[in-house]
Each structure stands twice: as C-alpha cells, then as structure tokens.
Homo-oligomer: A and B are copies of this chain.
Amino acid sequence: EAPRVSGIAFSRNEAKITVPGVPDRPGIAHAILGPISAAHINVDVIIQNVSEAGKTDFTFTVERSDFAKAMDIVRDIAQGLGADAVQGDEHIVKVSVVGVGMRSHAGIAATMFASLAQENINIQMISTSEIKISVVVDEKYLELAVRTLHTAFALHGEAAL
C-alpha cells in the first residue's frame, strides 16, 4: 500500500547539543540525561548512532530558552566522561514529514531526501518514528524546506510559518 503523507510539521524552538566522543559503555547515556532531567529541562530529540573504536556521539535537542543552562550542565559531565568538547547550535530547525500507514520509511525518506538535496539543503541529523521522518537543518532553510516538501508530496494549502 502506498504510504500517504498527511502534512509537513516543523519546530523552530530547537537547539542541539552534542557530546562528541563519549565512551560506548553502559551508564553513559544515563550520566548525560540524568542531570538534564533533574534540572527539569525538556528534551525533544535524542540521537545516538553506533560507536566506532569504542566511542560515539550523543546528541539531544532542547528548547532554545534552556540552551545555555543545558550546555553548562553537559560541559561539566563531558569532562568527567573523557568526551571531547561539547558542541551546541541554536540556529537549527526540525522539519518533519508526517504520514499515515508509513509501514516503511524508505519511500517517503527517499522522496524527502531527494527534494532537500535538489534545493541544496544539507541534512544535519535524521530521526524517524512510526508516523514521521524528521530532519534537522540550518534555520535559514526553514521556509524553503517546508515549501519544497509541500511540493514534493503534492500537499496543498499552507503551513503557518
């Protein structure tokens, strides 16, 4: 069955924080997220990919108003973990293709990635769920990305930008 895309969603209120080069052993993910949770900081996306040579990068997004506080908390932790210097970026947005019946992401992802590539919009992060595929891109591409995806999936009407 052809998955149907029902809309394009986006969030400007995102800032990403990356702890690069964390050791890939049990307890590390908790060491990073525990203090963030204890500080009542809302976390949206959490991304960790496979490790290489026993290290991996741990990235999460917070609301922009929590960015400075979260960076402070994570800088202390990173040192204790022997990670590399914490990286942060407030100038990002999350853009998502929302679907129904997305039994598989492959077709929708291929269309989404192709249309962003045609506009030379670089994808910084990718995360999927049952009902959507989200990418993080530079905030300067928000309108272009949303318009391009509306066209790519033949969606009419306007998202309120």
A59 CA / B125 CA spacing, docked (Å): 11
Chain A 27-49 interface 0/1 with B at a Cβ cutoff of 8 Å (1 = within):
11110011011100111111111
A35 CA / B124 CA spacing, docked (Å): 21
Q: Which residues of A contact B (CB under 8 A)?
A: 16, 18, 20, 24-30, 33-34, 36-38, 41-52, 57-59, 87, 103-107, 109-110, 113-114, 116-117, 119-133
Report A89 CB to chain B, min CB distance, Å. Answer: 8
Main DSSP-derived SS at the A contact region: mixed
> Closest chain B residue to A127 by CB distance?
B127
A20 CA / B55 CA spacing, docked (Å): 13
- Return the contact of A48 from the options B24, B49, B106, B107 (Cβ within 8 A): B49
